Structure 1
Amino acid sequence: MERGYRPAIHPHQRHPRGWLDWTGHPRHSAGRGLSTLGWMMEMRFLCDEMLHGLGRWLRAAGYDSRIAGMGTADADLLRQALSEGRLLLSRDRKLLEYRGAGRAVLWLEANDLEGCAMELCHRVELNWLYRPFSRCLQCNTPLRSTSAAVWPDLPDTVRASGMVLWCCPVCRKVYWEGSHVTRMRARLQEWQRRCRGEGPVPGPAG
C-alpha cells in the first residue's frame, strides 16, 4: 500500500474534535452534514463506479463531477479527490480507513439513486437546481451555445423549432430542450423541493 494512503482511522479512534463514529466523522457533528465543506465556493465531486448514475445527475444539476473508471484503485480515487479538491462520493466504507479520507470522502448509506440524491443534499449544501444542463452529461465539460447551421445532422423538427442549442466543445454532443431534458428537469425540481422539505407538486384533480 502506498505511503500516505495506508489505513489510519479506527472506527473509535480519538479525534481532536471528539470521538469518531463509524463514518469517520466526529460524533458531535453527526446528522448535521460535513461542516468542513462550508468554505467551498463551488463543490466539485468525484463519484466512484458504484455511483455512476448519481454522477451524471450531478452534472445535469450543473456541478463539476468526475466519474471514476471501472476498477480504479481506492488509493488512486482518494489521491485524485485530494489533489483536485473534490468530494469523493462512495458506498465503499473501506475508503474511510485511508489517511486523508476525513477531508475528502463522503460515504453514502442509501442503496438507490433517489436515496443517495436525498442523503447527499441533506449532508452538504447541495442545490439540485444549481446550474441545470450547463455541463455535458457525457464528459462533464461546460456547454457552449451554438447555432443549428453548424450541425447539418440535426433532426429537421429541432432545426425548424428555433430552439436554443448547446454543444460540448470536447465530445461534440449537441443538446436541446427536448422531452428527455424536460423529464430530467422535472426530476431535479422534485428533488430540490424534497430537499427543502416541501411536498410534491399536486397532480390534476381526479
Structure 2
Amino acid sequence: MPKFMADHMLGRTCRWMRIMGYDTQYPKCNSDNDILKKCMREDLVLLTRDYEFYKRYPKSVFLNSPDFKAQLKQITEMFPPDPDLFFTRCPECNAILRVVETKTMGEGFDLVKSRFETVKQCPECGKYYWEGSHYYRIRDEINELIKG
C-alpha cells in the first residue's frame, strides 16, 4: 500500500483516510514546493484538488469532487483499503494506535473504564479511542462508501 500526502485542502479526507488505515500525511509546511520535495523524498502519492499542483508531480491524484465522501470513493477505487487496518491509525496525527488497559486512563473516563477493559491510545498525541456509538457509525459509513 502506498503512503500518501493530502494537500491543505483535504483535511477532512485525510482524517477519514487515516481511520481507514491509510498512512496519510498532512502538510506542516506552507509552500507547494516544500510539499513536493517531501513527496519526492519519501515516495508519497500526492492527493490534491489543485489541478496545477497535480500536474507538477507524476505520482499525484487529482480528486474530482469537492465532497470528501466522493473523494474517499475515488481513492478507495484506485487504492482498495485493507479492512484489517481500519481504526489502527490516529485520525489526528497518523501514528499507529496501541492497545492499553483502561485502568491506565486518567480522570474523566469513568464510563469508558466501566464498559471496556482495553481501548486504543495514540502514542504520539495521547488521545484515546474506543468502540462507542461513534465507532459503529463511522464503520457503517466506511462500509457503505466502499460498497457504493
Closer/same/farther in 2, CA of residues 44 and 74 from structure 1, 3 Å limit: same
User: Which residue number corresponds to residue 92 of structure 1?
Assistant: 50
CA contact (8 A) 2:48 2:54 kept: no
User: Which residue number corresponds to residue 6 of structure 2?
Assistant: 47
What residue identity is the alignment partner of 1:141?
Answer: A
Q: 5 Å matches for 1:1-206?
A: 42-69=1-28, 72-98=30-56, 101-102=57-58, 104-122=59-77, 124-127=78-81, 129-194=83-148
Aligned residues: 148
Structure number with greater Rg is: 1
Q: Secondary structure at the match of 1:106?
A: strand
The TM-score with structure 2 as length reference comes to 0.92
What residue identity is the alignment partner of 2:75?
Answer: L
The TM-score with structure 1 as length reference comes to 0.67
**Structure 1 unmatched runs, 5+:** 1-41, 195-206
Misfit runs of 4+, over 3 Å: none
Closer/same/farther in 2, CA of residues 57 and 152 from structure 1, 3 Å limit: same
**Structure 2 unmatched runs, 5+:** none
CA distance in 2: counterparts of 1:130 and 1:51, whole angstroms: 24
Report the Cα offset of residue 77 of structure 1: 1.1
What residue identity is the alignment partner of 1:90?
Answer: T
Q: Which has the higher helix share?
A: 2
Higher relative contact order (CA 8 A, sep 6+): 2
